[in-house]
């Protein structure tokens, strides 16, 4: 199978003057023939989230739908249909978490069969994935020869989940681990989530299925480790999207050392930022 090295991809990254930008509303990169990483343009929405399309033999899983509902501005549905054209797959939509920049595009999927779009909210997400003991339990969905582990990771938001694609070794980490701000609303929940995620990483490696890439929901940092200003529409020198399992273990250790009290933790590839009142 032909694969693309995601650490060297040059993503669309906005413009100083979006009126003169010729960037498309979204960029599709095929990591392999059944795995697509899609980036929304900063000229459509400054959040410029990444969304992921994973194809099994039965199901096309779209994880997150982007920051924009309007199909004319951000044609995520049409893009997905084009990418799966010629294959007989049912579409399932899931979300990393309930922040609007990760599910606004759901508006383009209102006509899919009932039960095909995951809900928002921790109790609802737990029920959708049949996770009984949220957040310490987990579950697995199968796209057809492509099992995906679903791991609850509250802390950034209460309904946050991380997906692990066993066949590729991709950990889709949403907003809990990305090259940028790791915004923490619930400090103790976040510490526990990252500790569980690190344990998952060790266990899956022990089973011979190590995490190869950690792929998050945004890039907010430059190659030299500086954070871009919040809300910027131009990031000319972006850090690579993928993080590694070493970054996850570093985060676990930093949170362990930080203890119970929320505090900012700057690191080379991300910055932990507790929200006020966390």
Distance CA 252, CA 249 (A): 5
Interface residue with Zn ion among 64, 101, 122, 149 (CB under 5 A) is: 101
Q: Which stretch binds Zn ion (CB under 5 A): 4-12, 21-29, 101-109, 223-231?
A: 101-109
We find the least distance from the C-beta atom of residue 217 to Zn ion, in angstroms, to be 5
Q: Is 269 helix (H, G, I), strand (E, B) or coil?
A: coil
Angle of helix 245-258 versus helix 187-206 axis, rounded to 10: 140
Nearer to Zn ion, 156 or 196 (CB): 156
Residue from 218, 271, 222, 276 nearest 247 by CA: 271
- Preceding omega of 135 cis (within 30 degrees of 0): yes
Site string for Zn ion, 11-50 (x = CB under 5 A): ----------------------------------------
- Letters for 136-175 (x = contact with Zn ion by CB under 5 A, - = none) are ---------------------------------------x
Rounded to a whole number of angstroms, the minimum distance from the CB of residue 234 to Zn ion is 18
Q: Are strands 90-94 and 59-63 parallel, antiparallel or unpaired?
A: parallel
Nearer to Zn ion (CB atom), residue 40 or residue 204? 40
CA atoms within 13 A on the CB side of 109: 29
Complex with Zn ion: residue 3 or 264, whichever CB lies closer = 264
Find, among 66, 61, 84, the residue nearest to 76 by Cα.
Answer: 66
Nearest-angstrom CA–CA distance, 182 and 195: 15
* Given 99, 146, 168, 185, the residue binding Zn ion (CB under 5 A): 99
Is the Cα torsion angle 170, 173, 174, 180 positive or negative in sign? negative
Binding mask 197-236 for Zn ion (x = CB under 5 A): --------------------x-------------------
Positions that interact with Zn ion (CB under 5 A):
99, 101, 175, 217
């Amino acid at each position: 199978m032909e694969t693309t090295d995601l650490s060297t991809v040059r993503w669309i990254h906005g413009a100083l003057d979006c009126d003169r930008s010729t960037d498309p509303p979204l960029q599709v990169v095929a990591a392999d023939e059944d795995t697509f990483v899609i980036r929304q343009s900063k000229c459509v929405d400054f959040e410029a989230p990444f969304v992921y399309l994973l194809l099994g033999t039965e199901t096309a899983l779209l994880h997150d739908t982007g920051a924009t509902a309007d199909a004319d501005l951000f044609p995520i549905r049409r893009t997905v249909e084009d990418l799966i054209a010629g294959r007989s797959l049912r579409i399932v939509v899931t979300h990393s978490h309930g922040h609007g920049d990760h599910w606004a595009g759901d508006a383009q999927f209102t006509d899919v069969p009932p039960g095909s779009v995951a809900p928002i909210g921790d109790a609802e997400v737990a029920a959708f994935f049949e996770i009984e003991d949220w957040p310490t339990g987990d579950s697995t969905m199968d796209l057809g020869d492509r099992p995906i582990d679903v791991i609850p990771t509250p802390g950034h938001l209460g309904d946050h989940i991380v997906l692990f694609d066993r066949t590729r070794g991709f950990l889709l980490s949403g907003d809990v681990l990305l090259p940028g701000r790791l915004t923490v609303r619930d400090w103790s929940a976040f510490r526990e989530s990252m500790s569980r995620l690190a344990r998952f990483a060790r266990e899956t490696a022990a089973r011979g299925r190590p995490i190869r890439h950690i792929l998050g929901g945004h890039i907010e940092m430059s190659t030299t480790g500086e954070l871009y200003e919040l809300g910027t529409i131009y990031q000319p020198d972006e850090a690579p999207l993928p993080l590694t399992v070493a970054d996850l273990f570093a985060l676990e250790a930093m949170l362990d050392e930080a203890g119970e009290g929320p505090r900012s933790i700057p690191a080379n590839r991300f910055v932990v930022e507790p929200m006020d009142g966390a």
